[in-house]
A and B are shown apart, each in its own frame.
Chain A
Amino acid sequence: MADVATAPMDRTDQAWFADQITALLPDLYGAAVRLCRDRTEGEDLVAEAVAKAWEGLPSLRTRNAFRGWVFRILTNTYISQYRSSRTHGDIESLDADDDAFSLFEQLHQPILLWWGNPEQDFLNRLLRDELVQAIDRLPDCLRTVVILIDVQALSYREAATALDVPVGTVRSRLARARSRLQKALWENAHDAGITTGPAPSRREEEGPDDGD
């Protein structure tokens, strides 16, 4: 469909919008649940985002960009209306090595390799609930980036636009988020007796804010 910037909407637009939203609803709801960490709040967030998307549709310049655009609305709605009511810090203080933890390096050690393929064994045992819990424990600023890029497959640029931060900030937050995530999964695996060797030092889940 052609650009519709500032054009009045007609029944064709309305039908197109309904089709797009219906197709995206499982993804929008999936992102909303991960963002809110709560299914009921996730439903409210999706409904609010859909209403805002409809109101803003005349300003959407290229309909091919609808997916990224509607996720931006969802994220912005979450940030402005939901996150502000929470106690989680925006940017946590992070250890110097916070973006350097590698689960692969922990698993790919000679003592573990004696027993087969520890990396594959780990992935085979990894449960959806463990991943969800590890993502849910990330602070908002890191969790949001993981949700947009790893869960919803937005590009760095799309995520930067959605979060209104530079692409470089997205990169650094993503590296920190993945490191945190892998560290949490390693701790879980260690606690469950799946791995051997020392667990990484644990840190407080939430801390004071700092910059990127």
Chain B
Amino acid sequence: MTGTEITSCTEALRLLAAYLDTELEEHEHGEMERHLQRCRSCYSRAEFEAHLKASIAELAHEPVPPRLSARVHTLIREFTVAGDR
């Protein structure tokens, strides 16, 4: 796209995933934001997809088992010792 205004919801929905993933070019991102400000239907869809994406992102962190922490730190200590030899 070369700065053309997003006028159709079909085009907006085609770009929605990349918009939410912040993968659009700057001008496309701005056009999407302008479309979403004007179009209640697309705004609702974007809001839903963004919330779902955020729920998935919450799976990013897992409490690290103490056993794994100890194992990794032992590994790193061994690297250090080996590097000093």
A residues lining the B interface (CB < 8 Å)? 9-11, 14, 17-18, 21-22, 25-27, 29-31, 33-34, 39, 42-43, 46-47, 50-51, 54, 102-104, 107-108, 119, 123, 126, 128, 131-132, 135, 146, 149-153, 155-156, 171, 174-175, 178, 181-182
Contact = CB atoms under 8 A, between A and B. Distances in A.
Interface in B16-60: 17-18, 21, 23, 44-45, 48-49, 51-53, 55-60
B65 interface: yes
Given A102-B45, A104-B44, 20 more contacts: A14-B79, A14-B80, A14-B83, A18-B76, A21-B76, A25-B64, A30-B61, A34-B59, A43-B65, A46-B72, A47-B71, A50-B72, A51-B75, A104-B49, A126-B52, A132-B59, A151-B57, A151-B60, A174-B17, A178-B17
Interface of B: 17-18, 21, 23, 44-45, 48-49, 51-53, 55-65, 67-69, 71-73, 75-76, 79-80, 83
A17 B76 contact: yes
Given A14-B80, A155-B23, A43 B71 contact: yes
B80 to A, nearest CB: 5
Interface of A is mostly: helix
9 contacts: A25-B68, A29-B62, A31-B60, A43-B71, A54-B75, A104-B49, A153-B57, A155-B21, A156-B23
Nearest to B65: A43
Interface of B is mostly: helix
A39 B65 contact: yes
B85 to A, nearest CB: 13
B48 A104 contact: yes
Nearest to B62: A30
B58 A26 contact: no
A30 B59 contact: yes
A151 B59 contact: yes
Contact of B64 (A26, A149, A155): A26
Nearest to A27: B60
B61 A150 contact: no
A153 B53 CA distance: 10
B6 to A, nearest CB: 19
Contacts of A17: 76, 79
